[in-house]
Amino acid sequence: MTIQHTSFGVITLEHEHPVFNERAVRGAAGLFFVLGMAGWMVAAITNDFSLLRLFGISFMADMFIRLFFGQRFSPTLLVADFFVRNQTPEWVDAKPKQTAWGIGFGMVMLACFMMGWLQLQGPLVLALCAFCMVFLFAEAAFGFCAGCWLHKRFAKQKPELCSGGSCQR
């Protein structure tokens, strides 16, 4: 299969517009969910936010790389791509993922600002991080992308390829 990388997404022989392999995206969300939940649990139980801060920084860096340098440089997508390399790709439009990742980047920026500059530690930070974990879990476990759902509802140009064919419903 021939894949041409673009600044955001890939072009395949079957698609004339940028797409992503949904299996790899879900795998990357699962990796982040496991890491984030570990940090969240440590922070919630021991009040030590250092692991949650480390998760926040790595999540923010990965989202920044995805959004501004391209998915082929994202560490979690590279790992996920490796694990799903023998599976048939499920291609989804890149634009909704860009919306979703932009929202995720904004959420993690806010969380890192709260934990870093403002030195907040407690229920507010844990609640914001739990909110983010719910979205990561929904993507990884159910293939539900909240940012994609918002993009589908409000974008002028509706996506053609969505996870599980949900664009047609």
Q: Name the band, by pLDDT with cuts 50, 70 and 90, for residue 168.
A: low
C-alpha distances (whole Å) from 127 to each of 1, 130, 136, 137, 146 are: 43, 5, 14, 15, 18
Instruction: Look at residue 36 and tell me if it is in a domain.
Output: yes
Q: What is the DSSP letter of 89?
A: P
**Strand (E) or helix (H) holding 25:** helix 22-46
Question: Between residues 93 and 87, which one has the greater pLDDT?
Answer: 87
For the stretch 97-125, pLDDT in tens is: 888 899 999 988 888 888 777 776 878 88
Cα separation of 140 and 89, whole Å? 15
Residue 153 in any domain: the answer is yes
- Residue 7 in any domain: the answer is no
Q: Mean of the pLDDT values across residues 90-99?
A: 87
Containing domain of residue 40, as a range? Answer: 21-82+94-168
Residue 6 lies in a domain: no
Indicate whether 89 belongs to any domain. no
Smallest Cα–Cα separation from 161: which of 105, 96, 73?
A: 96
Q: Which two tokens stand for residue 71?
A: 């998915």
Domain count, the chain: 1
pLDDT digits (tens, 9 = 90+) for 32-46: 999 999 999 999 999
In a domain, 16, yes or no: no
Is residue 2 a part of any domain in this protein? no
Which of 161, 12, 5, 15 has the alpha carbon at shortest distance from 92?
161
Confirm whether 88 is domain-assigned. no
φ, ψ (nearest 5 deg) of residue 90: -110, 105
